[in-house]
Structure 1
């Protein structure tokens, strides 16, 4: 999944105009961005935000670059793998 709202649409009153404002579903926009408490004072971290279907992840050094999203099941599997030290250093 990408870090952009799905189901973008413009008003049917816009007709064939291409310079219109579009609206995406708000449930896809992350809320409550945070970084791990284990990051301490470091500023170059991964941040996680809540979305209705799982989690959003972004790079704190380049927030404007966007984010990607995961489902609840994908995020849970990732957290379990981290806790089980399944990623070599």
Structure 2
């Protein structure tokens, strides 16, 4: 199945959504799910039936490298 960007997250079935352990129970986190075609879906945990953004594996790898390298830290201060 092919998923378009901005698909309703609730319509993505048969995947396991994963939330960071750094989320402290208030639901203020993003959740990710690996899709059957290798893409990764991302949704806001506060709105699990809201919109999911779909990224390629390569896009997620690039984002994670940037996050691990503190490239986005300035956005949280």
Q: TM-score, normalised by structure 1?
A: 0.64
Higher relative contact order by CA 8 Å / sep ≥ 6: 1 or 2? 2
**In the alignment, what sits opposite 1:2?**
5
Structure 2 partner of 1:40: 24
Structure 1: state its 5+ residue gaps: 5-27
Q: Structure 2: where are the runs of 5+ without partners?
A: none
Structure 1 stretches (4+) deviating beyond 6 angstroms? none
- Which residue of 72, 75, 78 corresponds with 2:57? 72
Larger-Rg structure: 1
RMSD of the alignment, in Å? 1.9
* TM norm structure 2: 0.72
Q: By how many angstroms is 1:30 displaced?
A: 6.5
Residue of structure 2 equivalent to 1:58 = 43
